Amino acid sequence: GKKGGFYVDTANFPEIATFSQKSGCPISNILSTHHHGDHTGANLKLLSKNPGLKIFGGKLDSVPGCSHPLNNKDIFETEDLKVQALHTPCHTKGSTCYYVVAADSPNGQIEVCNLEDGCVEFSNINRAVFTGDTLFVGGCGRFFEGNAAEMLSSMDLLSTLPGDTKVFCGHEYTVSNMEFGLKVEPNNPDVVSMTKQFKKMREEGKFTIPSTIEGEMKYNVFMRCHSPEIQQIIKDNNPISCM
């Protein structure tokens, strides 16, 4: 809203500038999950156009224009929101997820707009996590700068968030992720039913994002590496090997 808030993973300058102008939401804070250009492509131009712009990013990452490097579990407030940085290395070494709640109350509500395809608004959200390319709906990011042990640790950290936390990830890869999950766990009723539901949503032109942490724990095979069912299928009781 007009109080400010923040922009997450600012890739495209025209979309962000247009939204800011139409909505009255100033470009004062950016949360960058990692340094890849499809998440930070507009950072430097936005910085040049908006003096005093704060750009937050993981301390171990190389986010363009980063003015506020963050460590794991750092907490800060932007306008009326409270944000906790969660270091989730693997996709990049400094990849950071952002857990967000209302600053004045843990049960307060926040609003989110998806600018990827016009402006899709989500309201009545109590808590959200922005996961970039670490956790996807039904999947996880590629291991560009890390290994299975780090991704497992990152999934474990995210799994400690409240179950009703809304998950906003960086890309709409859900259907292909769930099709892979269906090959791994063809007898998991949650994987079967949600694969059908997500396919139907995409056929109707709807986003599958956001999901929830509770949902991901049920149908995302990469968040289920500790489960006996996955370990039996993989024939290995080491969750790192399963990952």
Active centre residues (catalytic): 34, 36, 38-39, 91, 133, 171
Task: Please state, in angstroms and rounded to a whole number, the distance separating the CA atoms of residues 115 and 129.
Answer: 17
Torsion of CA 142, 146, 151, 152, to 10 degrees: 140
Which H/E stretch holds residue 22?
helix 13-23
Task: Please state, in angstroms and rounded to a whole number, the distance separating the CA atoms of residues 48 and 63.
Answer: 15
56, β-bridge pairs: 31, 68
Closest CA to 198 of 139, 121, 129: 139
Yes or no: say if 50 and 65 are a contact pair by the CB < 8 Å rule.
Answer: no
Residue length of the chain:
243
